[in-house]
Amino acid sequence: MKVFRCDHCRQLVFFENVRCVACGHPLAYLPDIGVVGSLDPAEGNLFKSPLPRAAVGGYRLCANYVTNDVCNWAIPADDPAPLCRSCRITTVIPDLDVPGHREKWYKVEIAKRRLLYTLLALKLPVVSKENDPAHGIAFEFKADPKDADAPRVLTGHADGVITLNIAEAEDGERGRVRALFGEPYRTLVGHFRHESGHYFWDRLVKGSPRLDAFRTLFGDEQPDYGEALKRHHAAGPPADWQQRFVSAYASVHPWEDWAETWAHYLHIVDSLETAAACGVRLRPPRPGDPALRAIPDPLDEEFEPFDDLMESWLPLTYMLNNLNRGLGLADGYPFILAGPAVEKLRFVHDTVWAARAS
């Protein structure tokens, strides 16, 4: 994530903010120029941004910003859609008459917008199912049915539709499942990054010239997925999973390995972007090398070689985890990246940049 400032008073603001705490101007994310900006009310329901790159005709606020308070994105005035680029790809929302559902929906949309921010910044295709039923993407946010015997809502991806059980928005419930499955890391944004990996496997790898290289690194995805999952739940991951995979769950099947690796790539890109935007410099932990190295911006239009990103990522995770430990928090990035996992990350990086160039 980039660093954002209020355009009226220069106060630092976050991606999620709706109002500048210093000067009171309304804030919105302006997806056409990729920044959070402060706005001046204009005629009717329009707002203007003082930024020179901003839409000349002004902006409307997303209908979910105005009426539901779950969004902070704007829409360029010449786009007639009532919902922003992020909200229009959510096709199912939970019943808002049920107490607590609006708060959960809000948390879920925040995490989804973080996913979209990075996908759009990487210039990956994000098209709605409405505009492209065969290749588009949609999100469905559902609550478990009241009837305890009815089937539960499963978080997952199928044919471009990412479904999330909104119970994942409850910290307590997510923590319970995290402990149950022995996962060191389970977050809403992690879910979305993982499930988007399944979607982009269909878009960028399936039936493509990259498939052979994928199978060499991740294995043959053709053996039965359901059987592989059953085996994993019965016997657990292989004893040596840490030497080959980014996470234990990645060992289930090549599709899960890809989705986990994809999610980690997005974690890395987002965190490095923040560190680069904040001007973080690292002293590489090599004896005898006194140079401070600026963190490279992984979203720079100039291609950043994968090795340069990794060379910054490993010391940055050391810093991140140590900062968290200093505050008594769990490690921010509780993973060890073994050589084969790094090579899989390189494949994801190359796939993303090849898609961006085409």
Residues that bind Zn ion (CB under 5 A): 6, 8-9, 11, 20, 22-23, 62, 64, 71, 73, 84, 87, 256, 259
Q: How far is the CB of 291 from Zn ion (least distance, A)?
A: 37
Q: How far is the CB of 59 from Zn ion (least distance, A)?
A: 12
Q: How far is the CB of 344 from Zn ion (least distance, A)?
A: 15
Residue 284, CA distances (Å) to 279, 288, 291, 315, 345 in order:
15, 10, 8, 7, 21
**One-letter amino acid of 278:** C
CA angle 307-312-316, nearest 5°? Answer: 145
Closer residue to Zn ion, CB minimum distance, 22 or 179:
22
Residues in the chain: 358
Q: How far is the CB of 11 from Zn ion (least distance, A)?
A: 5
Q: How far is the CB of 328 from Zn ion (least distance, A)?
A: 32
Closer residue to Zn ion, CB minimum distance, 8 or 178:
8
Closer residue to Zn ion, CB minimum distance, 247 or 317:
247
Closer residue to Zn ion, CB minimum distance, 110 or 121:
110
Closer residue to Zn ion, CB minimum distance, 6 or 166:
6
Kindly state the DSSP code that residue 125 receives in the 8-state scheme: -
Per the structure block, which two tokens stand in for 48? 């203007």
Closer residue to Zn ion, CB minimum distance, 11 or 187:
11
- Summarize the chain as % helix, strand, coil (round to 5): 40, 15, 45
Per the structure block, which two tokens stand in for 283? 């002293």
Displacement of CA 276 from its chain's centroid (Å):
18
Q: Is 258 helix (H, G, I), strand (E, B) or coil?
A: helix
Q: How far is the CB of 158 from Zn ion (least distance, A)?
A: 11
Residues 27/19, Cβ–Cβ less than 8 Å? yes
Residue 353, CA distances (Å) to 119, 273, 303, 304 in order:
12, 16, 8, 10
Q: How far is the CB of 82 from Zn ion (least distance, A)?
A: 9
Closer residue to Zn ion, CB minimum distance, 68 or 324:
68
Displacement of CA 72 from its chain's centroid (Å):
17
**One-letter amino acid of 49:** S
